[in-house]
Amino acid sequence: MDLVELSRLQFAVTALYHFIFVPLTLGLSVLLGIMETVYVMTGRQIWRDLTKFWGILFGINFAMGVATGITMEFQFGTNWAYYSQYVGDVFGAPLALEGLMAFFLEATFVGLFFFAWDRLSKVQHLIATWLLAIGTNLSALWILIANGWMQYPVGARFNADTMRMEVADFMAVLFNPVAQAKFVHTVSAGYVTGSIFVLAISAWYLLKGRHVEFAKRSMTVAASFGLASALSVVVLGDESGYTAGENQKMKIAAIEAMWHTEPAPASFTLFGLPDLATHTTEYEIRVPWMLGLVATRVTDRPVPGISELVGEANTRIRDGLIAYRALSARRRLDQYRPYLWTAFLSLPLPWIAAELGWIVAEYGRQPWVIVGVLPTALGVSSTTVGNVTFSLLGFALFYSALLVVDLYLLRKYIRLGPEEALSPPPRMAEVAAE
């Protein structure tokens, strides 16, 4: 592989690993905020223990998000030096603002969340938890403003004296419609991920008949929040996705292996093996009218990100329905075993959707690193194949080892359950009485 391919592969590997942890952090932080709010409002100990227990799992995941995030901040410089030089004037600003406004907030208050239960008043600690949640969500906003600009580079112009792109209209960069759409889409996806995580584990407890009081309450919160989020993905994420961006037409065409413009209504290619040489698609399974149906909604307003939305929205609607059923079954949860099984087995779905979403978003932008501005192949650093091979293998090895440990610890603490994992252990007599 050459330098460009290796650099792309390294970015893909590190970004996809990073995004294993990010959506859960986004969703679980808000769920912790909700659980603790219920604790502060009702004063019932079980909600505090609930917050603390899910907090342990949040912490294990958060550490991995931080660890894999460090690389992301510096990788533009190490591996995409010409990219950084060429657009740093525009692209660097949201990254710096992310550090200033978001990372400081989440990283400072995550310390209080874990270590200051006995040092703060109930309300103070609740505020710390919410600031942690706000910080994580703000970080998504800033990084997606940066990423949205790569898809739809507004508010910048080329300066021949400095041989680079420079900010012309910062407000345009900030209020980039593609970035707004991506933000809503990504955080709702994170909320769904957090909800499914809590839902699936609670369902497993209920199936096993363990920690029933904990699991029921967790399920109520996760199901309500998950349903609201799933609906908002479909409504908000989808609608705001229809606002701008000629550039994404190519992506739909590529995904659909649509080599030639089709007479309306176009059919939707469900499966096929595109042949790059002959510009034909082998063994395709086509759904007549389907693409026409999707595309008619967008003829006058080209849509960024619809391609990602199609696949993910399907999963999310399904997740939402599971959540809704679980919610309506809340009173007699432990009797609805099929639903509990569905909830438990849907655990991996949000991650599959999120990772595939990023692959489509980033792969679909090729051959550009910034659409219409800078081809990917020009963005790389002038470093050696040996260097990048070494770092790629290093990161892949480190991340994989840490992921194994992370999953092992999550499994261990889920199996331990709240009674074993917390110190001091929850007083079960009190829990039963509530």
Partner 1 sequence: MDYETLRLIWWALLGILLIGFAVMDGFDLGTAALLPFVARTDEERRIAINTVGPVWEGNQVWFILGGGAIFAAWPTLYAASFSGFYLAMFLVLATLILRPAAFKFRSKMDQPAWRSTWDWALFLGGVVPSLVFGVAFGNLFLGVPFGFDGDLRFHSDITLWSLLNPFALLVGLTSLAMIVLHGAAWLNLKTDSTVQARARKIMPAASLGFLVLFSVAGLWLLRIDGYTIVSGAAHDGPSNPLLKEVVREPGAWLSGTGPWVAAALAILAAAAAPVLRERPLAAFLSSALVPTGTIAAAGLALFPFLMPSSSIPAASLTVWDASSSKLTLAIMLGAVALILPFVLAYIAFVYRVMRGPVRAEDIRDNSKSAY
Give residues 170-209 in contact with partner 1 (rule: CB under 8 A). 170
Region near partner 1 per CB under 8 A, out of 27-35, 108-116, 301-309, 318-326: 108-116
Q: How far apart are CA 307 and CA 364, in angstroms?
A: 9
What is the Cα 100 distance to its own chain's centre?
Answer: 21
Restricting to residues 345-384, which ones interact with partner 1 according to CB under 8 A?
381-383
Which tokens go with 375? 């081809």
Return the range that interacts with partner 1 (CB under 8 A); candidates 176-184, 192-200, 325-333, 396-404.
396-404
Half-sphere exposure (CA, 13 Å, Cβ side) for 256?
Answer: 26
To which residue do tokens 């994420």 refer?
237
Identify the H or E element spanning 180: helix 177-208
**Hey, what amino acid is at 252?**
I
> Which of 328, 384 has the CB closer to partner 1?
384
Structure tokens at 350: 């949000």
Q: Applying CB under 8 A, does 70 fall inside the site for partner 1? A: yes
Quick check: helix, strand or coil at residue 410? helix
Binds partner 1 by CB under 8 A, chosen from 96, 273, 285, 345: 96
111 binds partner 1 (CB under 8 A): yes
User: By three-state DSSP, how is residue 250 classified?
Assistant: helix
Whose Cβ is closer to partner 1: residue 311's or residue 417's?
A: 417
Under the binding rule (CB under 8 A), the answer on residue 138 touching partner 1 is no
Alpha carbon separation from 381 to 9, 11, 73, 305, 374 (Å, rounded)? 14, 13, 16, 29, 14
Residue number, 10 or 267, with CB nearest to partner 1 = 10
The C-alpha atoms of residue 300 and residue 339 are separated, in whole angstroms, by 42
Integer-rounded Cα Rg, in Å, for the chain is 23
Whole-angstrom distance, CA of residue 354 vs CA of residue 224:
21
Interaction of residue 287 with partner 1, rule CB under 8 A: no
Residue 120 binds partner 1 (CB under 8 A)? yes
* 396 counts as binding partner 1 under rule CB under 8 A: no
Q: Does 389 bind partner 1 (CB under 8 A)?
A: no
Q: Which of residues 48-67 bind partner 1 (CB under 8 A)?
A: 52, 56, 59-60, 62-64, 66-67
* Nearest distance in Å: CB 356, partner 1: 25
Judged by CB under 8 A, does residue 393 bind partner 1? Answer: no
> Exactly one of 1, 41, 116, 264 binds partner 1 (CB under 8 A); which one?
116
- Quick check: 415 binds partner 1 (CB under 8 A)? no
CA separation for the pair 164, 23 (Å, rounded): 34
CA–CA dist 167, 152 (Å, integer) = 14
- Which of 328, 335, 390, 428 is in the footprint of partner 1 by CB under 8 A? 390
Q: Look at residues 141, 135, 155, 117 and name the one whose alpha carbon lies nearest to residue 40.
A: 117
For position 327 contacting partner 1 by CB under 8 A, the verdict is no
Q: What is the DSSP letter of 243?
A: S
If the CB atoms of residues 297 and 412 are measured against partner 1, the closer one turns out to be 412
Tell which positions 246-275 bind partner 1, by CB under 8 A: none
- State which of residues 45, 82, 243, 250 lies at the interface with partner 1 (CB under 8 A): 82
* Residue from the set 84, 180, 240, 248 that interacts with partner 1 by CB under 8 A: 84
Compare residues 324 and 413 and give the one whose CB is closer to partner 1. Answer: 413
Q: Is 417 in the site for partner 1 (CB under 8 A)?
A: no
Q: Are 294 and 310 in contact (CB under 8 A)?
A: yes
- Interacting stretch for partner 1, rule CB under 8 A, among 255-263, 298-306, 339-347, 392-400? 392-400
45 scored as a contact of partner 1 (CB under 8 A): no
Q: Which of 15, 14, 122, 109 lies closest to 58 in space, CA to CA?
A: 109
CB nearer partner 1, residue 51 or residue 269: 51
SS3 for 39?
A: helix
Tell me the CA end-to-end span of the chain in Å, nearest whole number. 62
Of the candidates 77, 265, 274, 292, which one interacts with partner 1 according to CB under 8 A?
Answer: 77
Residue of 31, 50, 93, 222 that binds partner 1 (CB under 8 A): 93
> Is residue 90 a contact point for partner 1 (CB under 8 A)?
yes
Q: Is residue 107 a contact residue for partner 1 (CB under 8 A)?
A: yes
Contact indicator for 156, 82 with CB cutoff of 8 Å:
no
Per CB under 8 A, the segment of 97-105, 274-282, 288-296, 324-332 that binds partner 1 is 97-105
How big is the site for partner 1, counted in residues (CB under 8 A)?
Answer: 80
Give alpha helix (H) positions in 263-382. Answer: 290-296, 306-328, 337-345, 349-363, 376-379
